[in-house]
Amino acid sequence: MARAAIQATAINKWFGEEPARTHAVRDVSFEANFGEMLYVVGPSGSGKTTMLSMISGILRPSSGAVRIEDADIWGLSSDALAEFRLRRIGFVFQDYHLFPRLTTAENVAIPLILQHREWNAAVEEAERNLEIVGLRNRAQLPPVKLSGGEQQRVAIARAIISRPDILILDEPTASLDGDTGRNILSFVRKQLLTDERCIVIVTHDARIYEFADRIMRMEDGSITAVERSQLDAQ
């Protein structure tokens, strides 16, 4: 039986003031389950990234509720929410957000440093995490020396170093060629998806739909359809 990892209930987000007020997300409700890879797809401006930010504890909804397993995340204090995100939610940004003055390993170690781990121990753990994504030999290089696909894998290594049970990727293949993008998503599905983890991916890239369990479509801030993928039907 499916176990809900994320439950969004009637979440809304407005931006701006009248008469230019924009209703970016409209009464969105859905569940994402542990052991599942859920894609959120739709045209630019459909509210996908705004919705993603609300379920990951980055952007407060104007109304509605978000539960991650047993926690009402927007009912937490600011400090408790920051700690919750740090330990339970891994987020891979579209632009990677790697620090150019740090080595690859130091970039991956950042979540552990924020948890007050000793620097050298955190970097050693980061190097072990880089091995998971096949980049141990790049540990001492700065991000600028890496390809786009390698930078994406570094961002994934950083997102999973705290062993989060929720992993969220925003447009993970936007800057990658088709083969590299497929390889990244194949890796994510085979190596990172477990019965104790839920993965949510926002994407425009129909070439990687085959890796999803379900595909949730959004348009004009609303969910228009939720479909089982061909993978899930097999």
* 155-174 confidence digits (pLDDT tens): 999 999 999 999 999 988 88
Sign of CA dihedral 159, 160, 161, 164: positive
Task: Report how far residue 224's alpha carbon sits from residue 175's, in angstroms, rounded to the nearest whole number.
Answer: 27
pLDDT of residue 231: 57
What interhelical angle do 148-160 and 104-114 show, nearest 10?
A: 20
Task: Report how far residue 48's alpha carbon sits from residue 66's, in angstroms, rounded to the nearest whole number.
Answer: 15
Contact 210, 229 (CB under 8 A): yes
pLDDT of residue 3: 92
Task: Report how far residue 220's alpha carbon sits from residue 23's, in angstroms, rounded to the nearest whole number.
Answer: 9
Q: What pTM, to 2 d.p., does this model score?
A: 0.90
pLDDT of residue 174: 83
Contact 154, 133 (CB under 8 A): yes
Lowest-confidence segment of 41-45, 107-111, 175-179 by average pLDDT: 175-179
**What's the distance, CA 15 to chain centroid?**
23
β-bridge mates for residue 202, sequence order: 40, 170
pLDDT of residue 178: 84
Q: What residues have CB less than 8 Å from 152, skipping those under 6 apart?
A: 92, 96, 172, 175, 176, 184
**177 vs 140 pLDDT, higher one:** 140
Q: Kindly report the CATH number that applies to the domain delimited by 4-233.
A: 3.40.50.300
Task: Report how far residue 127's alpha carbon sits from residue 139's, in angstroms, rounded to the nearest whole number.
Answer: 6
Cβ neighbours around 29 below 10 Å, total = 12
Q: How many CA atoms lie within 13 A of 75 on its CB side?
A: 8
